[in-house]
Structure 1
Amino acid sequence: MNDNIKSFLSVLALVAVGASATLWWHDMMELRWESRRTMSEAARKDRMLAATRLLQQNGRVVNSVGSLGELIVPKVGGGTMILSGASGTALPGQAEEMLDWVRRGNTLIAEPRSLTSAEKAALAALDPSSEENDDEIEDEEEEVEEPKPAAAPASAQGKDEDKPKDDEDEEEDEEEDHTPPEPPARSYFTAVASDNKDPLTDRFGARVRRDAKACECRTEPAEEDKDKPEAIAAARRERDKTVSRLILPGKSYPLELDGGKMELVGLPNAVAPLWSDDDGGAVRVYREGKGQVVLVTNDYFSNYMLDERDHAQLLLALTELTPGRHVTIVRNLNVLPWYKALWRNYSLFLISLAGGVALMFWAAVRRFGPIIPAPKAERRSLLEHIDASGAWLWKADGGRQVLLEAAREDTLALIRRRAPALFRLPETQLWATLARDCSLPKADVSEALQQDAASHVTRFTRQIRTLQELRNHYER
């Protein structure tokens, strides 16, 4: 090999290495924008947020409640009510209230419950092919859910090959005896349908079941072919086979709805719908008084399905069936917290109980703490005794004279000690001298020192006051 060929091969190798390095750099190190579908926190909390925003943008007044238990139907404004995911959960009283509300000229959008075993048997008696389809669907689900056994290691396989066939059969029998049979899968709709009734939609005879056509068309491409245009186009064609088309009254063009894996079916002697989609498997509308009840097979108006097909246009069209612009959305099932249910049904009792407890607390709060000892009885003052004695003597016979004589003797004894010379005078002159010295009327002095106790209160008081003034004069 000459030098030219070696140089050419070297350059070719360098070019290949450089190209590979460039491709690796662009593939691993360069930043690219990728579209990812995410959901906000508000949308995760409210599954009907997209429908709420769409209705508000189109001039509807939307009121959203958490569950049927929180909804007070008689106070709901006229318009449209959407029960999202509340199939088969309405109580008889709630269902009757909602139907009365519809009869006044409003629209109710709801989902019926799933078929029960008895209803499946009744449909199978009329159409045996439906039972075969249901059995095939259940078999497919069981096959999908059945776990595959793990591959045994090579050593274990060798040991199994060395064992006799009879021993293998015995081991298999033992395993079958000890392994309990797996219970059949029980979906949410089956649980609701078998355990509860649906008084809201039972009157129409409409139920929900698995769609056999949708299950047949459910083919997924291989993992390595998912991103290929041919696989995407094939999946789209398969999905288009389950599309339901609905022509609204007064419209000339059909709306395309995603049929999904469920379909609406009618029980024997079911009520004929006012109008529906092409095969009656997605939407059925029934007349109820002046209003209408719309039954849908899927939750078309949730955040997950509103942007698919023509579901948003269907929502706007259904809210235009009645003249009212008010839309009430019930987001979840008929679940009411215990404290709200207690307050809603027994509010008067709770108010009365709270008032009684408050009164009992107010009556008992004054007796909190240790018992205070009884106060000691104090002796009354001398003036109280004198006052009580005087009041008693005033009312007793001769008691006034006793009071006057006691005051008179005490006063004369004081004057005799202070001015004994006055008592050498005659009584008439003595009374006149006392009246002159004390600046008192002579008649008052004579009445206080000589006369009996007066029966009138004023005169008796004047006698006592005169004696007191004589006493005060000679005590100086």
Structure 2
Amino acid sequence: MSKSRWFFLLAAGGLLLGLLLLFALSKATPYEETLEHGPAPEVRSNPYLAAERFLIDQGRAVDHAQGLGGLAKSKSNQQVLLLLGERSNMTPGQTERLLRWVDQGGHLVFVAERIWDENSGSSGDLLLDALNLQQHEAGENLDDSHTADAAANAEKRPALTRLYLENEDAPAYLAFDTNYHLYDAGGSAHAWANSASATHMLQLRRGNGLITALTDSWIWRNDAIAQYDHAWLLWYLTQDRDVTLIYRTEHDDLLQRLLRYFPEALAALLLILLATLWHVAQRQGPLMEPTERNRRQLREHLRGSADFLYRRAGQRQLLINLQNDIRRQTQRRHPGFETLGHVEQCQVLEAISRTSSGAVSQAMQPPSNKPVSATEFTRQVAHLQSLRNSL
């Protein structure tokens, strides 16, 4: 085939391929698709990340405190401390230092954790008990007047919590959990926010500072802060002050961190430990030092075999084996010996071995089932060996 024909075929193939590509492009329709990969790792690790970013955008300086160990020790009294983490490990000393910090001008915002126990007269929440505040389940342990007012206005008032401010025409709406109610048992609160049948925020002054108690802080989590007036309330409580946030009071111990970051190494260490235990468990009895080869003589083998038979078979079986050996030796010299009775066998042995009848009867009597002393056993074996040697 000539070169011109090859060139023509290649050009035709290229043209056909180009036409096919143009046709495919004319039929293709562009579209956009959004793939949801879930929240970023920093969002999963910090449920209040959106609240932090909001405060930073408002010009606040946001800091984090790690745990309750150094709580309020180095915090300025011109700060707002958002104590949103779990406080079950909070000590009375930490509570006293924190309230002393508030007396000096700090603003504490915290979440009530425990339900008031009428039997014990306390809730177990050190902050609530120190401030004479009580948390109840909504509809329980409320004043009769408050319950009657809530029932009369339940249809008129929404399920959202309303916060009324002075010189403001409209209230702020907040989606607190309406299953809980805060009760000011000491009557020291000067501001509060109510839903249809419960109070969800109480604010009271203490010394030169301010304390705000909430039934929950879910309104400031990443998935809820943009709803209603949640972000506004955070701005209102922290205005003109820097913010310190504590949302996690417990940290992973060493074992939890090893399980999280080095599971393969722990698995390998566990396998090594199991293999070591298996190897050690193969031992049966005490270890014995290996003897030198030049000491392994026939006498030692015989002594070892005898010790083994003595431990395994016992005294009675060894004596029976010696008596059977004597009977086999006598059978070769006196055919029909095995058919005789015990008395006749003793008489034949006495005649062949030229041994007294008493010695033969004592040697050939059936051994006792009970073990005897080493001296008695040695004596019986000696009698049997003497009788066998005399055949």
Q: TM-score range by the shorter chain?
A: 0.3 to 0.5
Q: What TM-score do the two structures reach when normalised by structure 2?
A: 0.47
Q: What TM-score do the two structures reach when normalised by structure 1?
A: 0.39
Greater Cα radius of gyration, structure 1 or 2: 1
Where is the helix percentage greater, Structure 1 or Structure 2? 1
